Amino acid sequence: MSEFLISHQQQPCSLSCFATCMAMLMARPAEAVREHIHNSYREKGLSLGEVLDSLELPFSDFKTAGRNNIDKPGVWVAAVPSLNLVGIMHQVLVEVLPSGTWAVFDPNAGKEGKRFYVAGEGLDPELAVPFTSGYTVEAFISREDLAAYRAKRSSEAAA
């Protein structure tokens, strides 16, 4: 069993990386979350913070002009240059375990012919690109807050 709280999902379409990252946080199917969040985010121009607030998911946000290191256990929401669409930003999650082990959850990983970010060296050097720099940290969710959020949503669904 993985120690990671995040389970990887692939984005349903080329512009649904944000909704897929939210689905991974929520532990819900990407397509269902895409229908709920994608239009609000893309068409209404909601910010990441507004979406996380609407989900009632506690988070810390960051000033993009600052130095934002991914340096403590939890889930980090990062914006990175797209490896597949020129001039477009792409959303990924980076989860750091208490042991310091980390992983990148890129919604493009595993999609045929699509390049994607990985922690360290990738298994497929033609498609996997090490996540080293060029990213912007947008939000941080602690492991405790994410677990509590999921437990609350699970109990609400059961009621």
Q: State the average pLDDT over residues 90-117.
A: 96
Q: State the average pLDDT over residues 102-118.
A: 95
The CA distance from 70 to 34, in Å, is 27
Question: Total structural domains in the chain?
Answer: 1
Give the global pTM: 0.92
Q: State which residues form the domain around 71.
A: 58-158
Residue 34 lies in a domain: no
Share of the chain above pLDDT 70, in %: 92
Residue 22 lies in a domain: no
Task: Note the pLDDT of residue 1.
Answer: 42
Residue 96 lies in a domain: yes
Question: Phi/psi at 112 (nearest 5 deg)?
Answer: -55, 125
Share of the chain above pLDDT 90, in %: 67
Residue 123 lies in a domain: yes
Higher-confidence residue: 119 or 124?
119
Residue 30 lies in a domain: no
